[in-house]
Amino acid sequence: MTHRIFIVEFRLQNEMLICNMIIPPYLKKGDTIGIVCPAGFMEKSKVETCIETLKSWGYKVVIGKTVGNQFNYFSGSDKERLTDLQTMLDDKNINAILCGRGGYGLSRIIDSIDFRAFKKNPKWLIGYSDITLLHSHINNQLKTATIHSPMAAAFNDDGYKNEFVLSLQKAIKGNKANYSCNTNSFNKTGKTTAELVGGNLCMIAHAVGTKSYYNTKNKILFIEDIGEYIYNIDRMLIQLKRSGLLENLVGLIVGGFTDLKDTTTPFGKSAYEIIKEHTNEYNYPVCYNFPVGHQTKNLALKIGVQYTLNVDAKKVSLKEL
């Protein structure tokens, strides 16, 4: 199956910019989705509802060897996880790869992944959390779009019926997203159009200084996180700021920051207050509490695709072009 080059011209800050991004083929009924766990361990039973739902959507499903496999914390040894992901990437009969879960582990194998077959036959790579490293690596090195979205566990407990899992169904079919959310007192109003990049804040900071980092110049960045100490949110924002990743943005979307921890002596600020402090000097629009992150409210976002972000006094909208 051939892929296409998605070329968009848009005006930004009185300059004409041209973005070249490879958009993998969208899925049609009868196509095959592979499920793989390239990081943390996941019980096979937690994938069953996802499998049945994908089949009900009209897709065939192939299960990787790492699903239900365990090696300490991981879904297999580094070699097993690398081999399973590589098999999915190389198989021409697999049209998209859905990661079962995130956790931790991709940075242990990212430099050993061979993307030569993927470059010839790009396919949608889907997931979030630790999967952010794959998103940023593919965005930077291969200029290919991916999808940040709910993973296999999100289908459980009737999750397959909610609008957030269904947003993944729409995304892989090629439907253009048009999302909106409520305003927030921390928001900074404005309107911008650019390529969207982002994901888990910890993983974005983790990639700085490597070939997997996001080039955020003239882009809209979205960030989210879970389980971090509040002081570490501050440290990671400083890392992004010192690395120049914040000053060159044209827009910022702040998603959920859930299950955060504080030290015995409180840090004294919330995550949103920290983000606002470190971005206050910039003129681009910023929205807070956008439905993306480690939570039920986790909309599918196509990384590498053009969106218009509009933050006004009444509503926030994010529209795919």
**Same domain assignment for residues 131 and 211:** no
pLDDT in tens, the chain (321 residues): 444 444 444 333 333 334 589 999 999 999 999 999 999 999 999 999 999 999 999 999 999 999 999 999 999 999 999 999 999 999 999 999 999 999 999 999 999 999 999 999 999 999 999 999 999 999 999 999 999 999 999 999 999 999 999 999 999 999 999 999 999 999 999 999 999 999 999 999 999 999 999 999 999 999 999 999 999 999 999 999 999 999 999 999 999 999 999 999 999 999 999 999 999 999 999 999 999 999 999 999 999 999 999 999 999 999 999
Q: Which of 131, 150, 173 is the C-terminal boundary of a domain?
A: 173
252: closest CA among 301, 188, 180, 304? 188
Q: Which of 173, 201, 220 is the C-terminal boundary of a domain?
A: 173
**Same domain assignment for residues 311 and 214:** yes
The pLDDT value recorded for residue 27 is 98
Query: Could you read off the pLDDT of 260-284 as tens digits, one per residue?
Result: 999 999 999 999 999 999 999 999 9
The pLDDT value recorded for residue 20 is 85
**Same domain assignment for residues 228 and 144:** no
Using CA atoms, how far residue 218 sits from 5, 14, 16, 249, 321, in Å, is 20, 12, 11, 5, 16
The whole-angstrom separation of Cα 27 and Cα 238 is: 40
**Same domain assignment for residues 161 and 189:** no
Query: Could you read off the pLDDT of 214-259 as tens digits, one per residue?
Result: 999 999 999 999 999 999 999 999 999 999 999 999 999 999 999 9
For the beta sheet containing 146-148, the strands, ordered from the edge strand earlier in sequence to the opposite edge, are: 60-63, 32-36, 96-99, 124-126, 146-148, 301-303
**Same domain assignment for residues 312 and 187:** yes
* Domain with 145 in it: 32-173
Residues with catalytic function: 129, 224, 294
Into how many domains does the chain fold?
2
Residue 8 maps to a domain = no
Using CA atoms, how far residue 72 sits from 2, 41, 104, in Å, is 40, 8, 12
User: Looking at residue 219, which CATH number applies to its domain?
Assistant: 3.50.30.60
The pLDDT value recorded for residue 19 is 58
User: Looking at residue 106, which CATH number applies to its domain?
Assistant: 3.40.50.10740
Residue 46 maps to a domain = yes
Residue 23 maps to a domain = no
The pLDDT value recorded for residue 7 is 41
